Structure 1
Amino acid sequence: MDEFTNMSVLDLRNDSLNGPNVSSPDSPTERITKNILIVSMLVVMVSVGCTIELTKIMAHLKKPKGVGIAVVAQYGIMPLTAFCLAKAFDLTGISATVVLICGCCPAGIMSNILSLFIKGDMNLSIVMTSCSTVLAFGMMPLLLFLYCQGFEGLQEAVPYKNIALSLLSILIPCGIGILFNHYRPQYSNIITKVGLSVSLIAILLVLLTIIEAGEKILSIVVPPMLAIAFLMPMFGYFFGYIFSTAFKLKQPERRTVMMETGCQNGKLCMALIKVAFPSAVVGPLFLYPLVIILTQLLEGLLVVLLFWAYQSWQQRKNKGKGILNVTDRSQTAEVGSTQLHLDIWSMSLKKLYFYSYLSHIFIEVTVL
């Protein structure tokens, strides 16, 4: 395995502080990239907060069954999956740490978008993403502390304080965005658009970092890391749906929990790794979450296509029987011809947005 996986994190940290192999701090480009990445993440989190409505959050918190099940699935299934995969593929040092951090991260925006296209419970999706992000402040350091006990040397080397401070610096802007949306909703759309623009700038910076890293990036694309990147989202989607089915949630809620469990916030994970660890310690592995984003998207796209195929089959089946087209049996509202045309137009717009999102992600990860 590559040079970073052959050494423990503790050894790498000692080398970075005292050893002769690291004679200089981060390059000016790396420092500028890190600072701009932090600022861009803060702006993006404010824009994310502007999409969250307190009334919807309170409605779900008053009946927290769905949220509770989703939280347990998010912070129970994925960290355990990451730990088991790291053990199964015999990862050590910084490679194991990066995989664990990816597994302990909360859900991201991708889960909301994928839930939309499989007609999940969007209120639950937004609330779940919000709750998992807030809970990440306590859950990520706790879970990393617990699971790092299974790897020699990691429990002393993981910078829990830096990770907690990084999470806090991200959650505060999210709270500011929520307050903006509640007290000054007229500014929410503007802030959201600014956040999207800043996100594009952050992507360009990541691309520049990738170009600067050059051949070192290839060191993370090794068979064990690739296998884990493909298996983690797959297990998350599968066990998220099974877990929510066991508690008899409604079909839209099951689909939402599935997506919220399998989709991790890759950009948050990358930012945490970049900020919490010195570059000499983590090396190009801070880009590994981009590989996770790609596999999440590909597997999530497969789920969406399967859902659309099933939905189309159900429509033909119901049409042949003279039954009104419904997505779930629980939905019994009558749909007029005008509403049907609106639904078709809405789905077309959703597909168009979905494909544009695919292009956005492809541009972000294609250089890998």
Structure 2
Amino acid sequence: MRYLERLAQFICKNMTLWVVILSAIAFFYPAPFKPIGKYISYLLGVIMLGMGLTMSLEDFRLVLTRPKDVFYGVFFRYLIMPLVGFGAAKLLGLPPALAAGMVLLGAAPSGTGSNVMTYIAKGDTALSITVSSINTILAPVLTTYIFSFLAGSMIPIDVGALLLDIVKIVLVPVAAGVVLHMLVPSLVEKLAKVVPAVSVIFIVAIIASVVALNSAKLATMAFILFVAVVIHNTAGLLLGYYAGRTVGMSRKKSRAITFEIGMENSGLAVALALAHLDPMAALPAAVMTVWEYIAGSLLASYWGNKPVDGIAAPAGEAIAAAK
């Protein structure tokens, strides 16, 4: 078991490296990776199950004790990023499929990577975990209808099918994970050290598949796509922080909101794009998976070396490995 734990840590620690290597291979030799596309929704379901295994009812306690903070986190998440995605697509004149992919990426809930970045940045980790959990639970309704409203003029959208897919891919696996956490906590505690590595492997496989499916188009669109994603992520991080400060949040809380806004569940956006849109619409989310961890870790490290509101965060604070 110790060997597996060390291997899992190695896999998770070098996630960006695996994404870059496998994506490069998939770009030049796409054939072996294309068949994975048919199974992306299942792979993402396993990833969301893993997320559910790390969640408990305690994660929702702040909804009752600090409802205003949680509301702001959810409200800003689903207000800022869809509009930023829509604005970036219009500003750069992206073709309809890529534009829709940008909006879908923005309308997705925050990703679990935001919790890790918040911890490193000495932000309010409890707030980050709660906001991520609520964002994920609300995704079937909010992601579906926000995306439909903003992207409906770009491409045809089957709202009912999209909502059902998000329920199946996100809500059901997450709920199953939470239930298992409640019923067999000792088993889940053991699995928690390995589950993140499984999620990383599946995410890398998903991204490689997207690159393979779009290898021909990616060669001509790489630059504009990269610019769009950088604009999207940078604007999200900046607006997330200053939105928090504007409504009176402390720097510690605002750091949490920053990553809740700027880091997205790009895997979900990839799966939905491949299932309901042109495969090219999955490219923004695939690129974002790499970029948001690079930008997020740089910002988190910078903040982590600075005091929060004039007081250094406790040195012994810990966070669950998968959160």
Smaller-chain TM-score range?
Answer: 0.7 to 0.9
Q: What pairs with 1:285-304 in structure 2 (closer than 5 Å)?
A: 285-304=281-300
Cα deviation, 1:254-279, whole Å, max 9, x if unaligned, reads 100011011111111111111223xx
Task: Indicate the residue corresponding to 1:220 in structure 2.
Answer: 221
Cα separation, partners in 2 of 1:218 and 1:63, compared to 1, 3 Å: same
- Of the candidates 67, 71, 79, which is equivalent to residue 68 of structure 1? 71
Q: 1:60·1:124 contact (CA, 8 Å) conserved in 2?
A: no
Q: Secondary structure at the match of 1:108?
A: coil
Once the two structures are TM-superposed, the CA of residue 137 in structure 1 deviates from its matched residue by 0.7
Structure 2: distance between partners of 1:98 and 1:134: 21
Asked if 1 retains the 8 angstrom alpha-carbon contact of 2:53 and 2:177, the reply is yes
Q: CA deviation at 1:116?
A: 1.1
Show the counterpart of 1:210: 211
Render the CA deviation track for 1:254-305: whole Å, top value 9, x for unaligned. Answer: 100011011111111111111223xxxx134423312112222232233123
Cα distance in 2 for partners of 1:55, 1:304 equals 25
Alignment of 1:85 onto 2:93: no
Asked if 1:276 is matched to 2:266, the reply is: no
2:113–2:263 contact (8 Å) kept in structure 1: yes
What amino acid does structure 2 have at the position aligned with 1:299?
A
SS at 1:310 equivalent: coil
The match for 1:318 is: none
Distance in 2 separating the partners of 1:148 and 1:208: 24
For residues 126-184 of structure 1, the C-alpha deviation after alignment (integer angstroms, 9 at most, x for no partner) is: 111111111111111211222135x4x53xx0232232122101211101111111232
Amino acid at match of 1:239: L
Q: Deviations over 1:57-95 (max 9, x none)?
A: 124334211110011110111111111112222234212
**Post-superposition CA distance 1:211-234 (Å, at most 9, x none):** 4654332233142x3222111111
8 Å CA contact retained: 1:44, 1:196: no
Q: Is this contact kept in 1: 2:125–2:256, CA < 8 A?
A: yes
Q: Give the distance between the partners of 1:283 and 1:59, measured in 2 at CA.
A: 39
Aligned-residue identity in percent:
20
Aligned to 2:189: 189
Per-residue CA deviations over 1:188-221 (Å, capped at 9, x if unaligned) read: 1344424632541452364356346543322331
Structure with higher RCO (Cα < 8 A, 6+ apart): 2
CA contact (8 A) 2:62 2:130 kept: no
Partner of 1:166: 165
Residue 147 of structure 1 aligns to which amino acid in structure 2? L
Residue 120 of structure 1 aligns to which amino acid in structure 2?
G
**1:81–1:232 CA contact under 8 A, matched in 2:** yes
1:55 maps to 2:54 = no
- What is the total number of aligned residue pairs between the two structures? 289
Question: Measured at CA, do residues 217 and 329 of structure 1 come closer, stay the same or move farther in structure 2, by a change above 3 Å?
Answer: same
Q: Displacement of 1:33 after TM fit?
A: 1.6
Residue of structure 1 in register with 2:133 after alignment: 130
**2:230 is aligned with what amino acid?**
F
> Structure 2 CA distance, aligned partners of 1:246 and 1:42?
37
Separation of aligned partners in 1, 2:122 and 2:79: 25
| Structure 1 range deviating more: 91-100 or 74-83 | 91-100
Q: Provide Cα deviations, 1:11-58, integer angstroms capped at 9, x if missing partner.
A: xxxxxxxxxxxxxxxx9974x423432222112211101111202312
CA–CA distance in structure 1, aligned partners of residues 184 and 258 of structure 2: 33
CA distance in 2 between counterparts of 1:297 and 1:330 reads: 26
Find the counterpart in structure 2 of residue 100 from structure 1.
103
Give the 3 Å change call, closer, same or farther, for CA 59–29 of structure 1 in structure 2.
closer
The equivalences for 1:133-148 within 5 A come to 133-148=136-151
Q: Which moved more, 1:291-300 or 1:208-217?
A: 208-217
* CA distance in 2 between partners of 1:141 and 1:198 (Å): 24
Aligned amino acid, residue 243 of structure 2: F
**What is the SS of the residue equivalent to 2:226?**
helix
Distance 1:220 1:166 in 2: 28
Return the offset for 1:239.
1.0
Q: Is the 1:82–1:232 contact (alpha carbons within 8 Å) kept by the matching residues of 2?
A: yes
* In 2, Cα distance between equivalents of 1:213 and 1:41: 19
CA RMSD of aligned residues (A): 2.9
Unaligned runs of 5+ in 1: 1-26, 312-326, 336-342, 354-368
1:257 maps to what in 2? 257
CA contact (8 A) 2:237 2:262 kept: yes
Q: For 1:102-139, what per-residue CA distance to the aligned partner results, in whole angstroms no more than 9, with x for missing partners? A: 11111002211111100111111111111111111111
TM-score normalised according to structure 1 size: 0.70
Q: CA shift at 1:100, angstroms?
A: 0.6
